[in-house]
Every structure is written in C-alpha cells, then in structure tokens.
Amino acid sequence: MTTRSPQPVEHGSDGPFLVVGHRGSPRRCVENTLPSMHQAVEDGANAVEIDLSMTKDGVIALWHDWDPNDLVAIARQLGLEGGKYLPRAPKYWDDARRRAHELTLDELRQNFGYQRSVLFFFRKRVDARIPTLREFFEWATTESRLEAVFLDVKIPSDCDHLAEAFTNAVCAMIDEFEPEFECVFMTPHKNVLRAMKPHAGSRRFSWDIEISPGIVLDENRFSGVRAAVEESNRIASIGRPALTYGAWSLYQKIIESDVEKMRAVNHDQGNDPGNEQRIERLIAWTINARNEHVRLLRLGVDGILTDMPRRLERIVRKHRRGHSA
C-alpha cells in the first residue's frame, strides 16, 4: 500500500504562512519570557504573540493578567488553562493584589510571577522574570527569523482611558527600534481598539473575535473578516472557543465562511496590495491539536497561534508552500 503525499495548499496572503508562538513556546518555557520567545523561534515559529500590560509608572511589560481578579486570570491561577506553568498572584486579601496600572514595574515583579504545578494543588515558585517591551525588542530585533509580532493589548474594556498613553508608549518603542518584522496590535474590545487607533498612525490592528460560551445561533456575529471590514483593519483573527456547544464544528464553519468572505472583499478591492481596504491575513488562535492544525491549513488561513510551534511548523512544512521559518 502506497502512502499518498499530502498536497500543498495555498493561503490568502502574499506573505509567508505564519507559525505564531502563543506567548512564545509556553509548553516548554514560562510564557511571555525571553527564553520562551527564543524557544519558539528555535521550534520553527516565524512570529510570536506577546501579552502587554502597562504599569503605574508607564512601563509596558509582557504580562497577561492586567486584572488578577477577572475570571480568566483566576482560572489561569488555578491551573485550568493547562500546562505546567501558572501565573502567580498575591492572596485575595493582600493589598498588592491590584491591577497592573495600579502597580509600578518593581511592584508587579515583586508580587506577581510564575509557578509550576508539581502535584495536584501543590505549586513551586519559578524564577522567571517579567520582561519589559524594551527588553523584548532588544532581543527580537536581533532575530532575523521573525516575520511578525502580535501585540496582544490587555487593557480591560473599562480602562480605555489608558489607551492613548499605552499606544504612544508602544509606538514610540517601535519607532525607536525600527524592527524589520511587522507589528500587529490585537484587542478583543472595540472601545479599546477605537481609543488606540487615532494614536497609532498606520499601524496594523486586529479586532480579536472571541466566540461566546453556550449555544451560538448566529455564526456571522463572530466573523473576523466582518469585524475587520467594519473597523477598517488589515488583519482578521478569530479565537477557537472552549466552552461553546459544538465548539470545533462551529469554529470550522466560521473559518471556512471567513476565508470566502476575505477572498470576496479583496476581489472587490482589486489587486493593489497597498489598498487600505484589503484584508492581509486571517489568523486562527489558539490551536494545539494536530488534526485541527491540518484542517485549518486546508481551509486556507494565513497563520495559526499555537502553544506548540514545533508541532505546527512540522505540519506546515509537510502540507504547505509559502512558509518561511
């Protein structure tokens, strides 16, 4: 019996397919740390995603949980996100358990960090330093394999008044370092997106669509391409749901529909890649299962965020043309 070689498949953008290390390579290193970023690139990622919070003294730090008391942060602290490394936060009654913008960088580093799940509910503190965006750029601009960096903006929806200062700080850093890779702002909050854009010049944005838990009756509500068109963004992105009924089946339908929507939008806008109304990429996140990687590649997405970049890179290399590692 002969084994049939997988047929290469094409994606929508003119650039390379993006293997995006989600917070670096968090299954092998502590998320959002410089070792995690380096490991992701060594694993074959040609892009990384980093989570950005802003401290009281105006420093942009690579830290996911801006608010340690929101539901996602608490779930992560309890280990419900999976993985061997967990965020560490002060006890609920501790005065230091505050939101990022209420702490200086030193206070954030002193009171927050990471721990490792050892056995059941036993945790062991991990010596992993929270880096600043400056430290990230100092590393990233020496890494020629990076095609893109996705800047996941962690400003909560009720803190959009901080968007101007945050955007100015990040854009100043980008201007200073002049990276050769593309930088893309991502946020799930429309009000934060709209508060940032006037201060970001021609920077790329994505309104990051998150599918709500429960039963979804109107799939088009969660179209990343529709959201990109609505907000004149060049990047569309959609997160795979975890607590939605029929999650994977629903996600495939939305992605398949969005690939067609993106082609139609770009056809209507003509072939000029400089046309600001064109959508450059459709990004899927966060995808770790092998069969889901393969399926999304075949559907025609332009990049995938994953906790397992080494696995995804091997699959991409096997199934696809147009990928640069």
Per the domain annotation, does 41 fall within a domain? yes
Per the domain annotation, does 117 fall within a domain? no
Question: With left for phi above 0 and alpha for psi between -120 and 50, is residue 83 left, alpha or beta?
Answer: left
Other beta carbons less than 10 A from residue 276's beta carbon:
10
What is the rounded distance in angstroms from the CA atom of residue 241 to the CA atom of residue 210?
7
Percent of the chain exceeding pLDDT 70 equals: 92
- What pLDDT is stored for residue 323 in this prediction? 58
Other beta carbons less than 10 A from residue 75's beta carbon:
11
Per the domain annotation, does 289 fall within a domain? yes
What is the token pair recorded at 127? Answer: 């010596």
What is the rounded distance in angstroms from the CA atom of residue 159 to the CA atom of residue 99?
11
Per the domain annotation, does 1 fall within a domain? no
Q: For residue range 92-146, list pLDDT tens digits in order.
A: 999 999 999 999 999 999 999 999 988 767 889 999 999 999 999 999 999 999 9
- What pLDDT is stored for residue 5 in this prediction? 36
pTM: 0.93
pLDDT surpasses 50 at 276 = yes
Average pLDDT over residues 228-232: 96
Per the domain annotation, does 113 fall within a domain? no
**Residue 325, helix vs strand vs coil:** coil
**CATH number of the domain enclosing 255:** 3.20.20.190
As a whole number, the mean pLDDT across the chain is 92
Give me the DSSP letters along 202-218. T-EEEEEEEPPSB--S-
Per the domain annotation, does 266 fall within a domain? yes
What is the rounded distance in angstroms from the CA atom of residue 282 to the CA atom of residue 235?
6
pLDDT surpasses 70 at 8 = no
What is the rounded distance in angstroms from the CA atom of residue 233 to the CA atom of residue 203?
10
Whether residue 234 contacts residue 279, with contact meaning beta carbons closer than 8 Å, is answered with: yes
Chain centroid offset of residue 82 CA:
17
Which is it for strands 281-285 and 148-153: parallel, antiparallel or unpaired?
Answer: unpaired
Q: Which domain does 190 fall in, by range?
A: 18-65+131-319
20 φ, ψ to 5°? Answer: -105, 115
Angle between helices 309-319 and 290-299 (to 10 degrees): 40
Per the domain annotation, does 226 fall within a domain? yes
pLDDT surpasses 80 at 4 = no
Average pLDDT over residues 303-318: 97
Q: Which element (helix H / strand E) includes 19?
A: strand 18-22
Lowest mean pLDDT among 29-38, 185-194, 272-281, 291-300: 272-281
Whether residue 48 contacts residue 138, with contact meaning beta carbons closer than 8 Å, is answered with: no
Looking at the chain, the number of H-run helices and the number of E-run strands are 10, 12
Q: How confident is the model at residue 6 (pLDDT cuts 50, 70, 90)?
A: very low
Of 289, 264, 272, 219, the closest CA to residue 12 belongs to 264
Q: Which element (helix H / strand E) includes 304?
A: strand 303-306
- What pLDDT is stored for residue 241 in this prediction? 87
Per the domain annotation, does 38 fall within a domain? yes
Query: What residues form DSSP beta bridges with 60?
Result: 54
- What pLDDT is stored for residue 3 in this prediction? 34
Q: For residue range 155-211, list pLDDT tens digits in order.
A: 999 999 999 999 999 999 999 999 999 999 999 999 999 999 999 999 999 999 999
Average pLDDT over residues 285-304: 97
Number of domains in the chain: 1
Lowest mean pLDDT among 32-36, 213-217, 222-226: 213-217
